[in-house]
Structure 1
């Protein structure tokens, strides 16, 4: 039985609805909604270590109940199961390839390693499973993003708002990081570079795939 099944079984066996469990967790200081619990039980993403600890307190369970090895011999692949990670952190996958701020790169979605972020910060974006980290290659997004920067992409945000934003996209079988804006008159998407040496490109919405929005970047001091 995996962690998703165990969580739902614990709630059902204690005759609690998702709303009631949410209320009990909130009494313990955890800002957890019924919608979040529903997402956990669907396996969309995992509860943070602090939330899992609060769940154990509600149900009078030991943490090992959720993190012990499963019947298929493996440990459930959730960030809070990392044995050497402080309780308040979760790990976000860092993709092996790079994302192009230039002419484009072939995507490489294999996981290279993982970076730790605080749970209380990650939860506003839906948790670690909704995010990935990748390195920038190229200069088309200077001065906003420099070659070698590491960007954090939120896969939950794939709609372009009125003000636009910087997104990870797939276009012409290439992966790119670009500023996107909507032309309100034609509904076409303008793919822009912050570097004025690069021209903008106009495409129809069905010609690109938006992987997510850039919500954070890290930079090595040079």
Structure 2
């Protein structure tokens, strides 16, 4: 593969996965500008073998895509990513007070599948839903996967875990970009919603990106 093709492939992966140059540079133990210089300026002309291998494994792609030799299926296998599960409830109701924030367990997820959901697996955590104000979307006892890296800085319509007056709640947020206001809503119509909130008054913990529940 031509090195220009390898640089283009890496650039495409960075954009698709919403990665940043500095973070990837640190991943392979280089200075913060290393990956950007490689992609944009062609310096170095080729990635070092170990750097290329680390990046290919991180993105879950064949090393050949980044200019290396083709790998077999076994070489492309990645270890599962473990996500901490906290003994905390995000109330879909009046509000649950945070307790001991030590992880009580860890759940393992397939690395490639997880990267399709979120940017940085280190920003993920699992907590449970308490209450019924988000029915039918979320039920009492559901375990939700929260992306803390996808919070106030990238706020958009969706379901989020919020901290209000020391309590954790899970609600649907809807943005009014023209007025720069936010509606905080319950999916269950039996519960109130707040339709004209100042974003500065809302402490966003992270976006809910997946839910797991027991059936039956």
Tell me the TM-score normalized by structure 2: 0.64
Which of 98, 113, 116 is matched with 1:121 structurally?
A: 113
TM-aligned CA deviation for residue 171 of structure 1: 1.2
Contact 1:119 / 1:127 at 8 angstroms: preserved in 2? no
Contact 1:88 / 1:120 at 8 angstroms: preserved in 2? no
1:24-43 alignment, distance < 5 Å: 35=21, 36-38=23-25, 40=27, 41=29
2:205 is the alignment partner of 1:218? no
Task: Tell me the distance in 1 between the aligned counterparts of 2:127 and 2:210.
Answer: 11
1:151-166 alignment, distance < 5 Å: 151-158=144-151, 159-161=154-156, 164-166=157-159
Contact 2:160 / 2:207 at 8 angstroms: preserved in 1? yes
Change in 2 beyond 3 A, CA 1:181/1:39: farther
Contact 2:162 / 2:203 at 8 angstroms: preserved in 1? yes
**Residue equivalent to 2:171:** 178
| CA root-mean-square deviation | 2.8
Name the SS of the counterpart of 1:136 in structure 2. Answer: strand
**Residue equivalent to 1:136:** 129
Structure 1 gaps, min length 5: 1-19, 43-56, 64-85
Q: What is the aligned length?
A: 157
Change in 2 beyond 3 A, CA 1:170/1:205: same
Tell me the TM-score normalized by structure 1: 0.62
Contact 2:128 / 2:144 at 8 angstroms: preserved in 1? yes
**Residue equivalent to 2:74:** none
**Residue equivalent to 1:103:** 94
Change in 2 beyond 3 A, CA 1:39/1:154: farther
Moved more, 198-207 or 90-99: 198-207
**Residue equivalent to 1:89:** 80
Name the SS of the counterpart of 2:115 in structure 1. Answer: helix
Cα deviation code 1:141-165 (max 9, x no counterpart) = 000000011100111211332xx10
Name the SS of the counterpart of 2:139 in structure 1. Answer: coil
Contact 1:93 / 1:115 at 8 angstroms: preserved in 2? yes
Contact 2:183 / 2:193 at 8 angstroms: preserved in 1? yes
Structure 2 gaps, min length 5: 31-47, 55-76
Task: Tell me the distance in 2 between the aligned counterparts of 1:34 and 1:197.
Answer: 43
**Residue equivalent to 2:187:** 194
Task: Tell me the distance in 1 between the aligned counterparts of 2:140 and 2:108.
Answer: 22
Which of 59, 74, 78 is matched with 2:50 structurally?
A: 59
